[in-house]
Structure 1
Amino acid sequence: MSKAVEVRVPLSDLKVGMVVKLPLAWTNHPFLFNRIEIETLSHIELIKTLDVAFVYLISGEELLPKKTEVEIVVPELTPEQLAEQAKSVVRKSIRLGQQRFTKGANDCRSVFSKLGSDPQGAYRSAATLVEELMDHLKETETPYLASVDAGVDISINQHGVSIAVLSMMIAQTLGMNHSQLRDIALGALFHDIGKQKVPDIIRRKKTNLSDHEINFLNMHPQFGHSMLEKSGLFPKKVLDIVLHHHEWVDGSGYPHKLKGEQIAAETQVVSLANDFERLLRGEGRSPQIALGYLFKNRVQKHDAAMISALVKVLGIYPPGTLVELSNGEVAKVMVTTAEFKKPIIRSCTAQGLQSQLRFLQQEDIEIKGVIKVEQLSAAAIRTLDANSPVSFYFSTL
C-alpha cells in the first residue's frame, strides 16, 4: 500500500489480524505505539473505547467486509513538495532513458558482432531489440523526445539507436502503420553497418577526405546491403533502407541518384533523420540551429510533409539545444513537451552554479534565444555537459 495514501476504516469493521494506526497522539491512548497489530478481540474493544470514529488501515485490507467502502485520504502537498516530486519523476525518467539508450546500443553492438557467424541469432536479437523500441514508443500516449549522452565519439551502434528512435517518432507522426514502424526501426539500426568495412583511418579522419576516400566511404550502403542480403533473413524494406538511406528526393543522393517516389517512404524517413543528425555531427551545430539550417537549405532534398513531421517531433527547441533564459541564466534542453516553447531544461548561472531541473511550463521564465557552446563559460560547459554530442531516446514522461 502506498505510503502517500491512507485508508480510513470505521471501528465496526475492525478484525483480528489487521494492522492499524490510531489518529491520536501517543499520550491520548493506552497503547505503547500508534501502530497496533490487532491480535485479540480485546484489542478491538479497547480501541472502541477511544474517542475516535475510525482508524487508518496499514495492512489487512482483505479482511474488510465486501460492503465496506473505504475512504482514501491523499494528504495535501505543499507547492514546494509538488515541485520536488515532479523533479524527482523527471530525474528518474532521464536516467531511465539513458539506461535504455545504453542497453539498446550494447544490444545492437552484440547483434553486429555475430551477424557473420550466427546470422539467425543476430536477426532474432535484432527483432527483440526492435520490439523493445516499439514498446518504449507506445509506453506513453504522446511520446516526447529526450536528450541522451553517447560519449565523446559516438559509435555506429549508438548512432543506429538514435536514428531508429528519431525515425520512429517521425513515422508515427506521419501515421505510418505498425509494420512500417518495425521495418523503419530495423533498417535504422543497421543503416550504417556497412561502415564496418570502411577503415577507421577514413571514418575517423578529422581533416578533409581525399576524393578516393570519399568514394570509398560512400560505398558503405552497398557494403551494408550485401552483409544483410547474404543472410536471406531481412525484409526487402529493411534492405532498401540500408542501401538507399543517402538518397534524396531531388536525385542528388547516392548510390543510385533516385528521385521522388523512386525512394520508398520508409527509406525517406530514415534518410531525413540521418541527414539531420549528420548536420549535428559534421559542423557541431546546436540541434535548433541544425533544424533551422535543414528547413531553409535542404528542403528540396526531402519530402515537405516529412520535414514538417520532423519539426513537430523536435519542437522549436530540440533536446540538446543550449539556450539563454530571460533571467540571465543558461540552460540545456533535456526533454520536449506539449508546449514547444517551454521544454524541460537543466539550467545554471552564467558561472556554472546552481544547477537545477526547470519546468518552463510552470514558470514565468522564458527562453530568450539559442546560444553556441563557445558563448558559455568553462564552468557552465562542465555543469551542462554542453560539449557532449547529442543523441536521442524516447521520454517516459
Structure 2
Amino acid sequence: MIKKIPVDQLRLGMHVHEFCGSWMDHPFWRSKFMLKSDADFERIKSGGVRELWIDSSKGLDVDGPAACVRAITREAVAAEVERELEFAASMPFALDEAEHGEQALAKAAALYRRSVPKIASMFGEARLGKAIDAGQCEELVEEISESVLRNPGALISVARLKRADEYTYMHSVAVCALMVSLGRQLGLQGEQLKKAGLAGMLHDLGKAVMPLEVLNKPGKLTDAEFDIMKSHPERGHEMLLEGGSAGAVVLDVCLHHHEKVDGSGYPHKLSGEQISLFAKMGAVCDVYDAITSVRPYKSGWDPGEALRRMAQWKGHFEPRVFQAFVKTVGIYPVGSLLRLQSGKLAVVTAQNAQNLLQPKVKAFFSTKSNMRIEPLEMDLGSAYCQDKVAACESPDDWNFKDLDRLAGLPKP
C-alpha cells in the first residue's frame, strides 16, 4: 500500500516511493528505491524533506496502530486535494475572459521566441562577471505583461513548451508571465504588477554563474553539488545589488523564492509572515513552471498532475497564494489529459472562466474500444453538453506524445 508518512517515521528497510516535493528540493535522482544505506537515510533526514511516500508492499511498514494514524493513504490524500482544488475554483476570477484561439497562442509563442536571445544575452553577461542592469528587462516585462492581461490563458499555456536546451532562459520568461497573472488574481495593479513581472524575470539570475556541469547534470547531485545549486539565490542577489538598479521587490524575490512557509526552505529558513507576498508568489510560480517543463535530464509533469502534487506539499506554499494560482492556471490547465464520464479521453484546449471544473476539451480516444476516435471539440460548461470530467489521467500511462498538438499549442 502507498502511504504518506512524516520523515521521523522513516527507517531502513522501507521502500521510498516518492518524496513530497519537487525534484529540486532534494539531491536524489531516483524517487523510488529501497532505503538500505545509512548515508542515504541521513541525507533524507537532514535535507529538508518533511514528508514522503512509502510502498509497504515492497518494504517495511510503519510500526504499530498509533503510527498508522499518522500514515495517510494515497486515496485519502487525493480526496483532500480534490476538495482543496474545488474550493480554489470557487474563488472570484479576477482576469477578464479572453479569446483563447490559435491566433492568441501563435502571438504568445512568437513573444517567447523573441525573448530568448534577450534573456540569453543577459545571462551571458552575468556569466562573464559584468554588472547586470535590471532596467534592461523592463521593456520586455512590459510586453509580457500586456500579453498576459490581454490573453492570460494563451501565454501561460505556451509557457511550458520549452526546448530543453533553452530551459534556463525560457523559465525566466515563464515565471515573469505567471507572476503577472497571479498578481492580477491577487489584486495587484499598475507598478506592483510590473515589479512582480520583473522579479519573475530575474529570480534565477544566480544560475548564470552555477557550474554548467552541475546545472545540467543528468543524474543525482552529490551533497556538495546540491549545496552549490542552493547558493544561486544569494549569488543572484549579489549580482543585482552590484548592478545598483534592482528595486526591493526584485531583490527580495531573487533571494527568497526558495523559502517555504513552514521554515524548511533556503537560504534563510524564513517562515510564515517573515516571507513577503512577492516571494511567496515567486515560490509557487517557480516550482510550477519547473516541474511542468522538459529538462535536459527529466521530463515534465502533466499540468493537472503538477497542481495536484503541489497541493499535497503542506507547508511549502501560502494557502491563499496557492489557491489564487490555481484560479490563474485552472484546475485542469491547457494540455491536461482527462477521462470523461462517457469513457472518452480528452485534452483540455481552453479554460471556462465561469467554472474551472468544466473546461473546453477535445476528445480523441475511446477507452471502451481502446482506440483513437475522430477528434471532437466539446464545451463541458455548455448546457447542451452531457459529458463531464470523471478523472485526470497521466499521459505516460497511455503513451500519448501529441497532447500539445491536439490542444492547439504551437511548437516551441
- Could you tell me the TM-score, scaled by structure 2's length? 0.64
1:374 aligns to 2:385 (yes or no): no
1:314 aligns to 2:336 (yes or no): no
Aligned counterpart in structure 2 of residue 246 of structure 1, from 255, 258, 270: 258
The amino acid across from 1:135 in the alignment is: E
- Alignment match, 1:360: 380
User: Are 1:183 and 1:266, in contact at CA under 8 Å, matched by a contact in 2?
Assistant: no
User: Are 2:305 and 2:394, in contact at CA under 8 Å, matched by a contact in 1?
Assistant: no
Q: How does 1:95-244 map to 2 (within 5 A)?
A: 95-114=106-125, 123-139=134-150, 143-144=152-153, 146-148=156-158, 149-153=161-165, 155-244=167-256
Q: Give 5+ residue unaligned stretches, structure 1.
A: 1-87
Q: Write out per-residue CA displacement over residues 339-374 of structure 1, whole angstroms, 9 at most, x where no aligned residue.
A: 212323344235456346544344433333211122
What is the rounded CA distance, in whole Å, between the counterparts of 1:162 and 1:356 in structure 2? 30
Q: Across the two proteins, how many residue pairs are aligned to each other?
A: 297
SS of 2:347's partner is: strand
What is the rounded CA distance, in whole Å, between the counterparts of 1:136 and 1:385 in structure 2? 21
The amino acid across from 2:157 in the alignment is: S
What is the rounded CA distance, in whole Å, between the counterparts of 1:138 and 1:319 in structure 2? 17
4+ residue segments displaced more than 6 Å: none
Does the C-alpha gap of structure 1 residues 348 and 235 become closer, same or farther in structure 2, counting only changes over 3 Å? same
Does the C-alpha gap of structure 1 residues 385 and 169 become closer, same or farther in structure 2, counting only changes over 3 Å? closer
1:288 aligns to 2:308 (yes or no): no
Percent sequence identity is 26
User: Are 1:180 and 1:266, in contact at CA under 8 Å, matched by a contact in 2?
Assistant: no
* Higher deviation after alignment, 192-201 or 319-328: 319-328
The amino acid across from 1:220 in the alignment is: H
User: Are 1:347 and 1:355, in contact at CA under 8 Å, matched by a contact in 2?
Assistant: yes
Aligned counterpart in structure 2 of residue 92 of structure 1, from 88, 103, 120: 103
1:168 is displaced (CA, Å) by 1.6
1:325 aligns to 2:345 (yes or no): no
Q: Write out per-residue CA displacement over residues 67-118 of structure 1, whole angstroms, 9 at most, x where no aligned residue.
A: xxxxxxxxxxxxxxxxxxxxx9712222222222222334322333345687
What is the rounded CA distance, in whole Å, between the counterparts of 2:146 and 2:283 in structure 1? 23
What is the rounded CA distance, in whole Å, between the counterparts of 2:324 and 2:288 in structure 1? 13
- Could you tell me the TM-score, scaled by structure 1's length? 0.66
What is the rounded CA distance, in whole Å, between the counterparts of 2:335 and 2:117 in structure 1? 22
Alignment RMSD (CA, Å) = 3.1
Q: How does 1:259-274 map to 2 (within 5 A)?
A: 259-274=271-286
What is the rounded CA distance, in whole Å, between the counterparts of 1:343 and 1:153 in structure 2? 32
What is the rounded CA distance, in whole Å, between the counterparts of 1:375 and 1:344 in structure 2? 22
The amino acid across from 2:242 in the alignment is: K
1:153 is displaced (CA, Å) by 4.8
